[in-house]
Structure 1
Amino acid sequence: MAIHGNRQGAMSQQLLLALAEQLKLPLLQIARQAELGQPSDLPAVRTTAESALKLIDSYLLGVRLSTEGQTALALEPVSVSSVLYDVATDLTAAAQFYGVQLDLKVAGRYGPVLANRQALKSALTSLGMALIESLPALDAKRLSLDLAAHKCRYGIVAGIYSDSVKMRSVPLADGRRLMGQSRQPLHDISGQSAAGIFVADQLFSAMQLKLQSSKFQNLHGLAAVLPVSPQLSLI
């Protein structure tokens, strides 16, 4: 038990280091834009600040869920399509700022899954923000991301996808080991600390889910499989 606690504490500390590294640049941008005081810079300042605050909120939620365990999880029937719609709405301003097109792919009927809605939404938002920021450097054919849900034999897959070949196999296991020790633990897909991806990873882990590489309609990305219980499928 003590070993597990020590490992969890070390992971949390490494994630905090990655988060701090990730937030340095947007905070510097905010400070510089505030110094210039140009009215035209206000939308950029607002978008940068909101993105940083969302990442901090997601990190804090992940820490709380990891610390308090099942007592704080508050699982409920959740519509994956509805969550992805909300995530797309939250990411719209940042996507426009980076020139990235967001496409919502949730066609089909999906029964509810048992999850923590806030944690699921925060995880996908953090993941989406990280990929939006990374996409211009991913050599993608199109500056677009698909927020998609689709069925698999184990449940419903919810994730974010790109046509970039660099997304075919994201070395998350290596990244987790390098997190907090390297400035670019996922250097193939992010020139920064990729804190948003690791925050999403932490939130999925708190829900007993796993963030992993995934394929959807010839696109590649990161996603989690959300199991559907037989009882919920009757709702």
Structure 2
Amino acid sequence: MRKKSVAGKAGKMSPMQALLAALSDDLALPLLQVKSNLEVLENDGFSKKTTRSSVEQMLLSVENGLQLVEAYKLTLRIDHSIETLTFEPVAIGVVLQDVAHQLTPYAKKYATDLQVDVSGKLTPVLTHQPSLHIAIQILSASLIRAQTAQVQQKRYRLLLGARRSSESVISTGVYSSIEGLSDKTLRSARSLAGQARQPLPSLPPGAASGVLIADMLCSSMWQPLRAAAHSGMHGLATAIPVSKQLQFV
């Protein structure tokens, strides 16, 4: 496992410090949403109808914030070699389906339809399942929020996809109608994290840290995120080697 140095140069944040700074900015969004919902409840006299709707919104906001915190903690443990990456054969389709199922209530809040597209009969990949799952999860949640803020329409679509990109590699990622995500903007975001309030200017406030944390988790396993396309949609994906230990028949 590659271990990243956490010793920053004078006047410059280490990668983990920069990531924490980005996370701190983005956590303000779910907290503000909770505050706003509480104010609505108070102004409405805590009526039963308004209370139920607001509580559901607050729970989703809190859950999203907690997912970001847990993802950052996992990244920190990996960076400090506290968490050992155990690689094993994983069915990528199962991971994508699990993430889609867990995020369905959150996606519904943003009028987004989640779809899973696994092209062909894919060999299991060799990866650290917890890191892959949480990386896809927080990346998806970030793009759900970003898409609804960038494009105004009645319904949205988010695609979790996987396909074989070569004989021994499977490309896995999240795709949407968001514009402005490229390898260049990702490289810039990595260097701007912790220095700019919006290291990914193509994404709205509150969405960048999820992308950056997912990027670091993917880097700790195999490859960082890259701009990619799948079924006519554009997004971010990572390359994962197929497992030679097991194949589905």
Return the TM-score normalized by structure 1.
0.90
Residue number in structure 1 paired with 2:158: 145
1:14–1:232 CA distance, 2 compared to 1 (3 A):
same
User: CA offset at residue 91 of structure 1?
Assistant: 1.2
1:145–1:90 CA distance, 2 compared to 1 (3 A):
same
Q: Please state if 1:108 is matched with 2:120.
A: yes
Q: Please state if 1:47 is matched with 2:60.
A: yes
1:128 to 140, 143, 168: 140
Aligned 8 A contact 1:140 1:162 in 2: no
The 1-side partners of 2:4 and 2:52 are apart by 53
The 2-side partners of 1:24 and 1:130 are apart by 14
- Greater Cα offset, 49-58 or 35-44: 35-44
Number of residue equivalences: 234
Residue number in structure 2 paired with 1:175: 189
Q: Give the CA RMSD over aligned residues.
A: 2.5
The 2-side partners of 1:45 and 1:101 are apart by 21
Residue number in structure 2 paired with 1:214: 228
Aligned 8 A contact 1:170 1:213 in 2: no
The 2-side partners of 1:6 and 1:151 are apart by 38
Which has the greater radius of gyration?
A: 2
1:182–1:41 CA distance, 2 compared to 1 (3 A):
same
2:87 to 54, 62, 75: 75
Q: Between the two proteins, what is the percent identity of the paired residues?
A: 33
Q: Deviations over 1:25-48 (max 9, x none)?
A: 211221332344433201101111
Residue number in structure 2 paired with 1:87: 99
The 2-side partners of 1:92 and 1:168 are apart by 27
Q: Deviations over 1:106-139 (max 9, x none)?
A: 2421111111111100000010011001001333
The 2-side partners of 1:120 and 1:133 are apart by 20
Return the TM-score normalized by structure 2.
0.85
1:6–1:232 CA distance, 2 compared to 1 (3 A):
farther
Q: Deviations over 1:166-208 (max 9, x none)?
A: 3466610001111111111111133446000011011111113
Aligned residue for 2:14, secondary structure, equals: helix
Q: Please state if 1:34 is matched with 2:48.
A: no
Unaligned runs of 5+ in 2: 42-50
User: CA offset at residue 155 of structure 1?
Assistant: 0.9
